Amino acid sequence: MKKIIYRAILLILLPIIISGQDFSITKIEPPNWWTGLKRDTLQLMVYGSNLNHVNVSSSDGLKILQIHHLENHSYLFVDILVDKYTKASTYDLFFNKNNDTLRYSYKIKEREFAPEDHLGFSNEDVVYLIFVDRFNNGDPSNDTLANSLDEFKYKDLNGRHGGDLQGVIDKLDYLSDLGISAVWLTPTLENDMYMSYHGYAATDLYNIDKRFGCNELYKELVRRAKEKGIKIIYDHVANHAGVNHPWVENLPTEDWINGKVGDHLSANHDKISIVDIYSNEISQRFNEKGWFTNYMIDLNQENKFLANYLIQNTLWWIEYAGIDGIREDTYPYANQKFMSDWAKAILDEYPNFNIVGEVWTGEPAFLAGFQKNSKVRVDFETNLPSLIDFGMRDAFYKYLSGERGIYEFYSTLAKDYLYADPNNLMPFIDNHDVDRGMYSANGDVEKFKIVLTILFTTRGIPQIFYGTEIGINEGGHHGRIRKPFPGGFPGDERNAFSEEGRTNAENEIFNHVKKLIQLRKNYPALSSGNLLHFKPENETYVFFKESKFHKLMIVINNNDLDYEVDLSRMNTEIDRSDSVLEVISNQLTDFNENGNLILPPKTAKIYLLN
């Protein structure tokens, strides 16, 4: 008589082994699924031993579409049908080989969120980038992890400092008070790795790193943030994973990754080769298949099983946690056909969702080729709606560092004709990979306030880095750029989350940022209105933002002295009266006898014209 071994596995990811005499099952991914998705074929990745010749069936009406046996008998892929007729239930899957049958309970759930409930992000939002390990330590008990492979300690620039998901939850009121409407979190998946505090070398794609919290806490963070009107943007990495991922010791297929540990190409970072019509195959191969570092495996998205795995993993996190958007890391380094399919699969499921891709080039002519419906790359559809705006970032840096003047902003924006949708770009001054804005400005608060004013009033989705709002002044090394937020960690001498804990200069910057965000809410023209600008003259720059209800004029004086800004060119835009309201200070300002405005040195002003 057939021997049946029963073991029910619910939604847990512990290394429980179901074993028979001939084979065993240790894990199935995804750990569960949902009814009602448009993507009606679910591919299960089964981990175990001796899985060759295993047959799979279900007695509960769950249809098994196909079983894929691999040369590596430690893995098995099973396609099942989960369509609109599939009921939410716990289904028994029977794995049979010879006289052994293993029963595995697999849960398919009702969806918690309607597809349209995933709101995406837009130019009406302000995005706040949190480098989780360096923001706030809400739970010191999880700072260290037994048997961790991370060698670095707190005082090391490359060490873990203890920031976590509870720390983010604890500061949601701070973010809400500042006016933030979307938070981009750096990756929080398990990174059991050398120098892994950054989160970009995952060793488990379905579990949050215990030093950050757990899956349930991530979901709770999303829920609590939504209650305060804050969206969560998930930082996703399709290009690579950590070299300590269990796959590396036992690859499912020989082509699961590009190359091998100790024998692989190195990324040449030739991103423009993707859009260069004269590019060669070798350059493109090194860019796509080269490893970033020796401790990050380069995933081969041309493998159909891995491609399915990555798409399903992304959908799983969207459904499980309820996130509203994704920032895709190292976008041009992954296989571009796959990335297009990946983005389409997500956007087909969630009509309001948004995805912003990291394509690190400041040249709009190259950057524009990666955006959905590109005007300059008509031979390929990326399906990528939004891009990190490195073009504007470069303009900010060149201005702050003194390399260029105010004209740099004008000339950068003048190239927006290249983009399919400039309003869906994400401009920024600084982030976790580049020097802080105040560092680039050599501590010049007035110059920093000018770029903040431009950031919050130009087109696109403004993104600030944690600490930008207080002018953290660091650079030259990733560990310094990612300085712990003062007051976020035990033993900190002051708490910059509070007004009393900030310096006068920090409060000046904080109040300026908060005011600008509030003005975007008061006057939606600043966020989503049409932009009209005039060529800078004598280091002064004037542009307008106009909507159906409001028209505002932004005037910048980059001179070291008071300057009379000539407005005669703007006669068609300005209905001059005796005075005009400057909305940052909320004070009426008089035009002079020439019909012009006199601005103090190194100043940006915003005037309400109607």
> Which residues have C-beta within 8 Å of that of residue 586, sequence separation ≥ 6?
none
> How, if at all, do strands 100-109 and 89-97 pair?
antiparallel
Phi, psi of 414, rounded to the nearest 5 degrees: -65, -15
Amino acid occupying residue 185: L
Catalytic residue among 133, 150, 319, 329, which?
Answer: 329
Q: Which two tokens stand for residue 406?
A: 């105010």
- Collapsed DSSP state (helix, strand, coil) of residue 508: helix
The full 3-state SS of 533-591, as one line of letters, equals EEEEECCEEEEEEECCCCEEEEEEECCCCCEEECCHHHCCCCCCCCEEEECCCCEEEEC
143: closest CA among 131, 129, 153, 156?
153
539 belongs to the catalytic site: no
Catalytic residue among 29, 100, 209, 358, which?
Answer: 358
Ramachandran bin of 459, using left for φ above 0, alpha for ψ from -120 to 50, beta for the remaining angles: beta
Give the integer Cα–Cα distance in Å for 267 and 290: 4
Most distant pair of Cα atoms in the chain: their distance: 103
358 belongs to the catalytic site: yes
State how far the alpha carbon of 325 is from the alpha carbons of 51, 64, 132, 477, 558, in Å. 37, 32, 17, 29, 36
Q: Are 463 and 426 in contact (CB under 8 A)?
A: yes
395: closest CA among 377, 409, 375, 407?
409
State how far the alpha carbon of 486 is from the alpha carbons of 161, 182, 247, 510, 515, in Å. 12, 22, 39, 14, 22
Q: How many CB atoms lie within 10 A of CB 2?
A: 8
Catalytic residue set = 329, 358
